[in-house]
Structure 1
Amino acid sequence: MEQRKRSWTKWITCITILISFWSCAKGQFRYSIYEEVQEGTVVGNIAKDLGLDKTTLKERGVRIVYGSTEPPFTVNQDDGILFVNRKIDREEICDRSKVCVIELKTVLQNPLEIHHVSVEILDVNDHAPNFPENVSILRIFESILPGAKFQLQAARDADSGLLSVQRYKLSINEHFRLEVKDRGEDRKTPSLVLEKPLDRESVKSHVLLLTALDGGKPPKSGNMTIIVNVSDVNDNPPVFNQESYSVFLKENSPVGTTVIQINATDLDEGSNGEVVYSFGKDVDARARELFHLNSVTGVIVVVGDIDFEKSARLEIDIQASDKGTATMTTDKTVVINIIDVNDNTPEIEVTSFSHALPEDSKPGTTVALISVKDSDFGLNGKVICYINQDLPFLLTPSLQNNMYSLVTKHLLDRELHSQYNVLIVAKDAGEPSLSSEKSIAIFLSDVNDNRPVFSQSPYTFYIFENNAPGKTIFSMTARDQDEGSNAHISFLILRDKEGANMLTSFLNINSETGDIVALKSFDFETLKTFQFRVAAADSGAPSLSSNVTVNVFILDQNDNPPVILYPVRFT
């Protein structure tokens, strides 16, 4: 049976994904998948929906960018298929939300494209309805007239939508019928309605079985036993002085703020007509943490943190009960509308593309994606984002609300600035306005755009004749403004191809240090000056080089004795 259920779920998932493909708009895709599917289950083929073949996909690449929370999906780089990489529990991700959607951003490079992917997590019926108590005991006077209602505790189901509690059943009983009030948002509150007058002398106690069923196929259910104890006399319930109670309350109202005062009266006398107030049985724990109800005066005051972003509207069931031996109770709903206050600063999320930006990046190159959000409502949640510095970068808004791209404004030069700190400011339109800042460090990577420069141009050296062969006669230096291999310099003597300058064959240069060695001894009487050229090249790709002329002058030494050319005769 379980295997047939999994097969049915997979079949529905495939049909849902197929329908989702037809509804995808350009730049934005929507897929659906059921919770609890196995790891590796295919969600959709992003490459196919973008019209990319495997060759194009491999050249451009596709990846998911995200902030601090990693989504439960992965994109296969070979075929662009989006698949589940871990178990998904819809109730854990989205609580009881009717629509559970995980928003993703996928990026294609060269050229840059941003596509928004929405994956809706569909509910499966993996929870049964559950009552807060297994047994509920009611005390009802025999004098209560037919038509009286008695609110019961509602069942809760962790699933949502049609898979939450959909209906209730009551065991057959001639005195009671069941009435269910639909409050929306998966909330249905059951009440017992008295159909036939009770007679304590005939039956002192009635035992009923209340069953809650969800909308699964087959449905899951939960039961609660209701014991109705019949009492005598007190025959007038409390009556509220208003048909409805509604009030407006600012969020962040301080503890002790009076919200509203309710009032009910009872026509009975003594303890049967003395009214006390309490929260209804179906009031959730959150409301009890926020408000206190004075049981005697009916005054509701603030005792917790009122936050519009958590609840914009609260409905609280109030019960007015008398103190008769068999208590009579009347229910009334108080609606509290929360007014938004600008109490949330904008949040900035930055997704950088690379650790370092090449200095030859063209104007308009995207450096990072900026997304901003504000949890407030209306103008309090309207955010503008900007850069408040004169930097070679622009913040351009995206078609998607509250999305920006940080791009280069003009050409960059690492040799002038190797690092920029860009301060992003996000400011809301509230009064007073709230803002936040985030700094982005942008490092420029070197490009081989500078040639080596000699320390002199031209070089002029003087050496004495009769130098020792193999010894360094002079040195040359050069520098390069680039870094790394782009600044690593090698020296080379430029020799004439046709041998026009034969002297260069008697010179050698150390390619690393620039030291020049003479391989022979020079003779001033034979050679007084000569000239040659030296090149300096960096190790970049492609390499850049420059060259310089070297002028060498030979200095004379007294290394020749006098010579008598003609004999002299004396007479």
Structure 2
Amino acid sequence: MEQRGRKAWRGRQFCFFFMVVLDVVCNGASAQIRYSISEEVQRETVVGNIAKDLGLDKSALKDRGYRIVAGSTEPLFHLNQNDGILYVTRGIDREEVCDRTSPCLINLKTVLENPLEIHYVVVEILDINDHSPVFPEKEKRLEISESALTGARFQLQAAHDDDVGQFSIQQYRLSHNEYFRLEVKDRGEDRKVPFLVLQKQLDRETAGKLKLRLTAVDGGKPVKSGAIDIIVDVLDVNDNSPVFIKEFYSSTLKENAPVGTVVIQVNATDLDQGANSEIIYSFGHEVDSKVINVFTIDAHTGEIKVTGQIDFEQSKSYEIDIQASDKGQAPLTTDKSVMITVIDVNDNAPEIEVTSFSSSIKEDSKIGTTVALISVNDLDSGDNGKVICTIKEEVPFTLAPSLQENMYAVVTRSQLDRENVSQFDVTIIAKDSGDPIFSSEKTISVVVSDVNDNRPVFSSSPYVFYVTENNSPGASVFSVKAFDCDESDNALISYHISREASGDNKFTSFLNINPENGDILALKGFDFETLKTFQFRV
């Protein structure tokens, strides 16, 4: 019962903090908020109130369409559009959604429409101690010559813990014995490799076999551990280990180097004679599988060659453990690290992403109005990853860089006129600075919406027409016509006669006009002897 209570409490516990950074671009806006939660919190756990942290009015959220921009993966979070609170959609396993790099950051994009705002929300998934250290084997056998010198080091298999940081493996413990002490080498990224160091001369006749126990302990409270049995078989004779000629081996290698390229050659010597001095080169037992997939070492010459695809974007360097072993009956082995640094070449084109877009804009919008927000990314590094964005066509739009790197706003740079051009296809070009240059294009269509900025125009002015005297009252005597360059309701026209009582305009009381089609009707018959001419205004 108590154990279930602790587990439930652990499932409910979470902590979060936030940091708000506002980044405003012309008429569009962007902001960044950071929260943190523990993994394995229950679904519907509150991550944070985005609306409150941004100072947004909750009453306007629903009308303005506040939402998370959908991604390509299963959503881990959802947003309440009524109050702006961010919730956990399902239980999150940090080891499932992130690799072992720390911190584990989930990037969300939220958009608030009318006016357009984009907010970046970063949620850090905090690790909890839910994994124990595990060795790849339950037992490890070592064969060590009785002539091995004090201080000799023997690499052991490292344990693995899916947790990170303080919950990963913090130390190793060796069972008490009089022959060996434990030394641990920190290889970074929560990777510690244990070594047995001989501290007392072995004697096969006294102790031909030793049984040790190595325990890996993490930093949780309470701690979790895993263990492996180490069986040491003490052998005779061969009493000299190979010695590498150089203290340190390093080389550089361009990515996309062809298969068969020789990267570096290692060389070791052995003071023994015969088979005990013949050396075989190999990778160390703890070499990562990704190294084995792209490199090989010649067992006889020590040449390291390329056998797979070298990609700078996947790995910028390789630290390879090399072993030199003699051919004695009890082979002696010496370890050496080889550092290979990968040099980037320009093999990736920039990627353009439209993060937010308003498909239409009013023709009377002010210069500098934002119609779209874009982001660019190039997987290369250095000059190969530096991207310059331009707009291809001669259009009344330009790119305004954001305070956030590789973010741009597409804004108006001159006045729009729907009556001249009602739609623009804006093509954005992203070019990197590499050699050769790689580029990408993205086209967005912007529709210019109408505003009532044109007056009706008569087909003729003035109009001159003739009426036969004794005309029939109520009959049409003439028609006027006007047109408007605007569209929809802005182009609808109605007609009326200006009724001014002075001068000739007093005769307008005898006229009427159809407000829809401009037909002018005479309400009485005219007499040439009484009235020969008159004018009026429509």
TM-score category (smaller protein): 0.7 to 0.9
Return the alpha-carbon distance in structure 1 between the equivalents of residues 73 and 417 of structure 2.
Answer: 36
Aligned equivalent of 2:46, options 39, 42, 46: 42
Q: Identify the residue that residue 149 of structure 1 maps to in structure 2.
A: 153
Matched, 1:418 2:405: no
Q: Identify the residue that residue 7 of structure 1 maps to in structure 2.
A: 9
Q: CA deviation at 1:170?
A: 3.0
Aligned equivalent of 1:187, options 187, 191, 202: 191
Q: Identify the residue that residue 448 of structure 1 maps to in structure 2.
A: 452
Q: Is the 8 A contact 2:145 2:330 kept in 1?
A: yes
Q: CA deviation at 1:92?
A: 3.4
Matched, 1:397 2:417: no
Q: Is the 8 A contact 1:290 1:305 kept in 2?
A: yes
Q: CA deviation at 1:397?
A: 1.2
Q: Is the 8 A contact 2:357 2:371 kept in 1?
A: yes
Aligned equivalent of 1:244, options 244, 248, 257: 248
Q: CA deviation at 1:81?
A: 2.4
Change (3 A) 1:318 1:420: same
Aligned equivalent of 2:105, options 98, 101, 104: 101
Q: Identify the residue that residue 543 of structure 1 maps to in structure 2.
A: none
Q: Identify the residue that residue 219 of structure 1 maps to in structure 2.
A: 223
The alignment-based identity, stated in percent, is 58
Change (3 A) 1:172 1:471: farther
Q: Is the 8 A contact 2:252 2:342 kept in 1?
A: yes
Q: Identify the residue that residue 359 of structure 1 maps to in structure 2.
A: 363
Instruction: Give the letter aligned to residue 257 of structure 1.
Output: T
Matched, 1:299 2:303: yes
Matched, 1:76 2:53: no
Secondary structure at the aligned position of 2:144 is classed as strand
Q: Identify the residue that residue 233 of structure 1 maps to in structure 2.
A: 237
Would you say how many aligned residue pairs link Structure 1 and Structure 2? 524
Return the alpha-carbon distance in structure 2 between the equivalents of residues 366 and 404 of structure 1.
Answer: 10
Q: Is the 8 A contact 1:67 1:349 kept in 2?
A: no
Q: Identify the residue that residue 178 of structure 1 maps to in structure 2.
A: 182
Return the alpha-carbon distance in structure 2 between the equivalents of residues 530 and 271 of structure 1.
Answer: 132
Q: CA deviation at 1:183?
A: 1.2
Change (3 A) 1:242 1:2: farther
Secondary structure at the aligned position of 2:212 is classed as strand
- Counting only pairs closer than 5 Å after superposition, residues 420-499 of structure 1 correspond to structure 2 as 420-457=424-461, 478-487=482-491, 489=492, 491=494, 494=497
- Per-residue CA deviations over 1:408-451 (Å, capped at 9, x if unaligned) read 11221122111112222223333444333222221222333344
Aligned equivalent of 2:385, options 361, 381, 400: 381
Q: Is the 8 A contact 2:173 2:215 kept in 1?
A: yes
Q: Is the 8 A contact 2:476 2:521 kept in 1?
A: yes
Q: Which 5+ residue runs of structure 1 have no aligned equivalent?
A: 534-547, 550-571
Aligned equivalent of 2:260, options 239, 256, 260: 256
Aligned equivalent of 2:127, options 123, 129, 132: 123
Instruction: Give the letter aligned to residue 145 of structure 2.
Output: F
Q: Identify the residue that residue 335 of structure 1 maps to in structure 2.
A: 339
Return the alpha-carbon distance in structure 1 between the equivalents of residues 48 and 279 of structure 2.
Answer: 61
Return the alpha-carbon distance in structure 1 between the equivalents of residues 156 and 357 of structure 2.
Answer: 57
Change (3 A) 1:272 1:90: same
Q: CA deviation at 1:285?
A: 0.7
Q: CA deviation at 1:529?
A: 8.8
Q: Is the 8 A contact 1:46 1:82 kept in 2?
A: yes
Secondary structure at the aligned position of 2:447 is classed as strand
Q: Which 5+ residue runs of structure 2 have no aligned equivalent?
A: 24-31
Return the alpha-carbon distance in structure 2 between the equivalents of residues 342 and 292 of structure 1.
Answer: 26
RMSD in angstroms over aligned alpha carbons? 3.6
Tell me which structure has the larger Cα radius of gyration.
1
Q: Identify the residue that residue 26 of structure 2 maps to in structure 1.
A: none
After TM superposition, the structure 1 stretch with the greater mean CA deviation from structure 2, 94-103 or 295-304, is 94-103
Instruction: Give the letter aligned to residue 47 of structure 1.
Output: A
- Per-residue CA deviations over 1:350-405 (Å, capped at 9, x if unaligned) read 12332222222221111111222222223332222222433211211111122111
- Counting only pairs closer than 5 Å after superposition, residues 31-70 of structure 1 correspond to structure 2 as 31-55=35-59, 62-65=66-69
Return the alpha-carbon distance in structure 2 between the equivalents of residues 478 and 5 of structure 1.
Answer: 80
Instruction: Give the letter aligned to residue 77 of structure 1.
Output: Q
Q: Is the 8 A contact 1:280 1:331 kept in 2?
A: yes
Q: CA deviation at 1:108?
A: 5.2
After TM superposition, the structure 1 stretch with the greater mean CA deviation from structure 2, 518-527 or 184-193, is 518-527
TM-score (norm: length of structure 2): 0.84
- Counting only pairs closer than 5 Å after superposition, residues 246-285 of structure 1 correspond to structure 2 as 246-285=250-289
Instruction: Give the letter aligned to residue 9 of structure 2.
Output: S
Secondary structure at the aligned position of 2:257 is classed as coil
Q: CA deviation at 1:528?
A: 9.2
